[in-house]
Amino acid sequence: MNGPSPQTTSEIRRLLRTAGLHPNPRRGQSFLVDGNLMRMVVDSAELTRDDLVLEVGTGTGSLTRLAADVAGHVITVEIDAGLARLAQVALAGVSNVTLIHADVLARKNRLDPDVLCELRTAASRWSRLKLVANLPYSIASPLIMNLLFEDFAFERMVFTVQREFAERLVARPGTKDYGWVTLVLATAGSVEVLRHMPSTSFWPQPAVSSSLICFRPRQDWKKEIDIERFRQLGMFVFQHRRKTALRILRDYLEQIDSRIEAGPLLEVSGIAPKTRGDQMTSEALLRLSRSLV
């Protein structure tokens, strides 16, 4: 891949020192410094000039520049004011980048309105939308979930996350790692762990290793279901993951003030009454969601 060279550890140190900045451990600031892996992130997204890229966690702008060199446009979001100023200078000559200084998640349960507005406006001008990011560990799960349930059609999501979270994304039903985020991604598309990344690939070195993920959503998945019903039911199921399906459904129907009988509903959905919530597959939850009319 030709184009700009990824920043090295010494270059990032110099940039931060010159700006009077230090990595903020409370925000999980750990910069990807392995140039080969950074190129792998961008290459795995298979970017073209028809693509709009969303990046969360601009940092010093190194991954941003690599993505902008091959994509049509990059919207990049940075929560840290100092890093945002530093990146703005570093990206000043790159015309196809929009840098937003914001917390991409407002109170962890919804996307920032300004980011949403910019993304919706830009998405109307590009053929494909892709996420390409070295994600801060603390926001990976709520960010992915919020992006999937918004009215965007991502063609691909390529991102680095903590290895423990990556293992949750591909966990099997009934295992300790299997959860709501696992089921949503299995419903919406396919997840692939491209490779694991040692902590030495980052500076400062995190205490854990990371993984590079490629998620390919099915473009029609939201058309097949009532999204809000599926979301409410699924979250309820995994809040009570150790209970039986019969108990969970009875409690859920009572909560929504429905007079539907839980037993027949499970039978129609092909779910055994003693199935635990954490054993429910994406197909089973979809059938159950569709039966709740």
Give the tens place of pLDDT for each residue, 99-127.
999 999 977 679 999 999 999 999 999 99
Per-residue CA distances from 46 to 4, 71, 123, 125 (Å):
17, 9, 18, 19
User: Where is mean pLDDT largest: 1-15, 69-83, 133-147, 212-226?
Assistant: 69-83
Supply the pLDDT for residue 1.
46
Segment holding 158, helix H or strand E? strand 154-162
**Residue 252, number of CB atoms within 10 A of its CB:** 19
| pLDDT given at position 109 | 78
What pLDDT, on a 0 to 100 scale, did the predictor assign at position 106?
79
Helix axes 180-188, 140-149, angle to 10 degrees: 40
Over residues 209-227, the pLDDT tens digits come to 999 999 999 988 998 889 9
Q: 9-222: what CATH class?
A: alpha beta
* Predicted confidence band of residue 202 (pLDDT cuts 50, 70, 90): very high
Query: Strands, DSSP E only, in 57-134?
Result: 73-78, 97-101, 105-106, 110-111, 128-134
H/E stretch holding 289 reads: helix 282-291
Whether 147 and 153 have beta carbons less than 8 Å apart is answered as no
Per-domain boundaries in the chain: 9-222, 225-291
Count other Cβ atoms within 10 Å, centred on residue 23: 17
Question: Does residue 34 carry a pLDDT above 80?
Answer: yes
Tell whether the torsion through CA atoms of 10, 15, 19 and 21 is positive or negative: negative
Identify the helix (H) or strand (E) that includes residue 164.
helix 163-169
Q: Mean pLDDT throughout 8-29?
A: 92
Percent of the chain with pLDDT over 70: 99
- pLDDT tens-digit series, residues 187-200: 999 999 999 999 99
Rounded distance, CA 70 to CA 188, Å? 27
The per-residue pLDDT for 167 is: 97
Question: Does domain 225-291 bear CATH number 1.10.8.100?
Answer: yes
Asked whether this chain's domains 9-222 and 225-291 adopt the same fold, the reply is: no
* Half-sphere exposure in the Cβ direction for 270 (13 Å, CA): 8
pLDDT of 26 reads: 82
Mean pLDDT, the chain, as a whole number?
A: 95
DSSP secondary-structure letter at 258? -
The answer to whether residues 270 and 243 touch, using CB atoms and an 8 Å cutoff, is no
CB 53 within 8 A of CB 47: yes
